[in-house]
């Protein structure tokens, strides 16, 4: 299969070691879709030869082990490995090769529902050119350290979705890092440190819930010029006052449960006095209910 350009086997009930598929694969391969099957075992290192991959989707299988080094996916646009059993750290060479960014075309990066670990800075560095990135999801893993995404700024003008929840983070630099991401529509940072096991998903080492500081510098997310529709900051032990939201904001869903927030919030023409823990707040102009706990 040295001349193979595209291979799609998705949405079947195929099983067996996935490594057998990659024998004799070469740099000619551009698209690989094996998602929604029952493939097992690990990815072979020979996959690193497929440096011209543009679409890589092996999500919803039972593939385990570590990701191969890849050594720079210079043309990758879609990289989806969610809902598998991967572990270990993300190779620092996956998006960068010899200190040169090869992620300029990347649109979707989905690593969710695995057992990846290590700091985000190990593979998401400020040197990356992610000007086309639209979707970033690392939900339900074991990423640790401080939540710091240096490449989320004005250099990511197309970024719409960021999901960081259910990991093992212990600190938050500041949520205002997302202020310059003007196209952001969904920001999910609920339960950045998982303290309870759920099903097959184990908890982080050390059950104590760390505090992620104070809720400040959020006003930038609620302006009339922003596209943000959903903001989830649940279970972060955040302190401080709740920011005011103008009627012109596009925000339709705000979840702040399990924090230590206080203050007065104006939503439309309603005045809510909210203390201790907010369960859920939704903008009344969207014809949904408002829930809160005093």
Looking at residue 217, its pLDDT comes to 60
Which one is predicted more confidently, 35 or 151?
35
Cα–Cα distance for residue pair 174/239, rounded to 1 Å: 13
Q: Give the pLDDT confidence of 195-228 residue by residue, as tens digits.
A: 766 555 567 876 567 777 777 666 677 777 788 8
Share of the chain above pLDDT 70, in %: 74
Q: Give the pLDDT confidence of 12-24 residue by residue, as tens digits.
A: 999 988 876 776 6
Mean pLDDT of the chain: 78
Looking at residue 286, its pLDDT comes to 43
CATH tag for 6-210 (out of 2.60.120.10, 3.80.10.10, 3.30.160.40, 3.30.70.100): 3.80.10.10
Residue 292 has pLDDT above 80, yes or no: no
Cβ atoms of 14 and 36 within 8 Å: the answer is no
150-160 CB burial, b ≥16 within 10 A, e <16: ebbbebbeebb
Please enumerate in sequence order all residues whose Cβ is within 8 A of that of 229, keeping only pairs 6 or more positions apart, or say none: 185, 186, 250, 251, 252, 253
Distances (CA, A) of 33 to 30, 85, 173: 10, 18, 36
Residue 8 has pLDDT above 50, yes or no: yes
Question: What is the domain partition of the chain in residue ranges?
Answer: 6-210
**What's the pTM value of the predicted model, to 2 decimals?**
0.86
- Range with lowest mean pLDDT among 3-7, 29-33, 175-179: 175-179
Looking at residue 226, its pLDDT comes to 80
Looking at residue 38, its pLDDT comes to 95
Q: Give the pLDDT confidence of 104-115 residue by residue, as tens digits.
A: 889 999 999 999
Looking at residue 279, its pLDDT comes to 40
- Range with lowest mean pLDDT among 9-18, 93-102, 122-131, 151-160: 93-102
């Amino acid at each position: 299969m040295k001349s193979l350009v595209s291979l799609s086997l998705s949405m079947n009930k195929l099983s067996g070691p996935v490594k057998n598929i990659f024998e004799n694969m070469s740099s000619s391969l551009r698209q690989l879709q094996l998602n929604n099957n029952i493939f097992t075992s690990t990815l072979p290192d020979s996959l690193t030869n497929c440096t011209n991959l543009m679409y890589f989707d092996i999500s919803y299988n039972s593939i385990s082990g570590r990701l191969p080094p890849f050594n720079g996916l210079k043309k990758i646009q879609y990289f989806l490995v969610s809902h598998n059993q991967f572990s270990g750290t993300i190779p620092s060479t996956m998006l960068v090769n010899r200190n040169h960014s090869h992620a300029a075309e990347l649109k979707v990066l989905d690593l969710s529902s695995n057992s990846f670990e290590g700091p985000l800075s190990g593979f998401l560095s400020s040197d990356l050119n992610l000007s086309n990135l639209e979707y970033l999801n690392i939900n339900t893993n074991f990423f640790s350290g401080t939540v710091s995404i240096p490449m989320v700024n004005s250099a990511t003008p197309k970024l719409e979705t960021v999901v960081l929840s259910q990991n093992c983070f212990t600190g938050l630099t500041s949520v205002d890092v997302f202020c310059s991401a003007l196209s952001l529509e969904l920001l999910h940072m609920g339960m950045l440190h998982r303290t309870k096991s759920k099903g097959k998903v184990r908890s982080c080492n050390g059950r104590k819930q760390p505090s992620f500081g104070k809720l400040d510098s959020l006003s930038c997310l609620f302006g009339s010029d922003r596209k943000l529709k959903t903001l989830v900051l649940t279970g972060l032990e955040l302190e401080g006052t709740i920011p005011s939201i103008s009627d012109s904001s596009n925000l339709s869903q705000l979840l702040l449960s399990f924090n230590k927030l206080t203050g007065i919030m104006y939503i439309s023409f309603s005045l809510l006095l909210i203390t201790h823990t907010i369960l859920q707040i939704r903008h009344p102009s969207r014809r949904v209910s408002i829930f809160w706990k005093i």
